[in-house]
Structure formats: structure tokens, C-alpha cells
Amino acid sequence: MDSDQSGKDSPVSSRRRFMTTTLVGATGGLMATEAAACQETLPDNPPIVVPKEFQLAADTPFPKIDFPMTGADVFAAACKTEGISALLCCPGNYKVMHALVAQGIPVYSGRNELAMCAAADAFIRVSGEIAATSGTEGPGFTTMICSIATAHAARTPLLVLASNTSVKDDDTEAGIQAGYQQPTTVGLRKYGKRLITPQRVHEYAGYAFRE
């Protein structure tokens, strides 16, 4: 009850109203004080600073490109731009190898894909540079798996290249080097892509270097 039979506020009701009024007033004062403090401590909005790299990129002229270019030529040009220091591989994927050499990237070859993949891993760890390794489709690529797993465990930024058959040969068991290479490296890579569209080679190369 808010009042007794005489119409006067009871002691209980008076205490309740007093506490309610006091708390509301104190809360309002606290909020006003905090708001004022925030206004005093908040700095003025600083201007947006555009990093100098944006202007540098805008002022950098496009490299001279001689057309027509093959997919291997486009990929090699991307590797040159991204700073690949070397390709260590077992002979194979000759179009890519020749295109890299034409870009001035040294190619070192050996007799076994597993060993050359391990050599590329070691090259990166010792030099701190980015390197690539390569194997042919099917057995050549499969031989590299242990070295790929080792590089992945060590977080080595190794670029692994592997040739592949045409998509028209999928599910036909045509040839002796057929194999599903992308599923083989699931869990052993940060990024992987089967290139089937020449127009997007440069795009996918960019993803590989930035993932």
C-alpha cells in the first residue's frame, strides 16, 4: 500500500519513494558525468591517411608485354613480378621451365621429384627467398608428397607446380599418368588450384603468392 487509511504516506512507502528518487537522480548524474568525461577524452577525428604505396603503385608504369603469350609465358611473368628466385625440379613441364628461364629465373634440375622438392624447401629456409618446385602429373607429383608435407609442417612458402592432363580426359582412365592431384594435397597446402582457363592464370598466380 502507498498510504494508510488516513491518506498519509506510510513509513514504508516513504522509504520506497525516497530510494527510487535518489537512485534515479544518482544514475542520471552518473550518466551525465560519464558523458562529459567521454567528450573531454575523445580526440578529434583524425584525417584519413592514404599509405604512400597506393600512389607509388599508381605511378608505376605497366611492364611491357609482348603478345601473343602462352599460359606458361603469363605464369612466368607473374613469377618474375612476385620475386621467385629459382625453380628446383625434375625434368618435365618444359613449357613452364623454358618460360621461367626466358624471364631470367634460374632452373635447377635433378633426377627425382622428391629430392628436388626437398631441395627447394631447403633453398627457401637457407636463403629466405621464394622458390618453386615442379613435377609431372601422376607419379611425378605423387613422389613429391612427403617433401610437400615436410615443407607445409615447417610453414615454408613453397610454390608447387604440377602438370596435368586435359579435363576432357577426366574419368576416362586415359594414359598412364592420370590422377586426381588436388584432393591428394588437401591438408598439406594453404592454397591449390587446377588451371584450366588461360585467361585467369595471372589471377590464380596472385592468389597462390598471397594466401
Q: Which helix (H) or strand (E) segment is 109 a member of?
A: strand 107-109
Ordered by start, the domain boundaries in the chain are 9-60, 67-210
Q: Which helix (H) or strand (E) segment is 159 a member of?
A: strand 158-162
Walk along the chain (211 residues) and give the pLDDT tens digit of each residue: 444 555 555 555 565 565 556 555 555 555 555 555 555 665 677 788 888 888 888 888 876 777 788 888 999 999 999 999 999 999 888 899 999 999 999 999 999 999 999 999 999 999 999 999 998 888 888 899 999 999 999 999 999 998 777 777 777 766 666 667 777 888 888 888 888 787 888 898 888 888 7
Superfamily (CATH) of domain 67-210? Thiamin diphosphate (ThDP)-binding fold, Pyr/PP domains (3.40.50.970)
Answering whether pTM is above 0.75, one says no
Q: DSSP 3-state helix, strand, coil percentages of the chain (rounded to 5)?
A: 50, 10, 40
Name the residue among 180, 54, 185, 76 with its Cα closest to residue 132: 76
Name the residue among 33, 1, 32, 5 with its Cα closest to residue 17: 1
Sheet holding 158-162, edge to edge: 107-109, 84-89, 130-135, 158-162
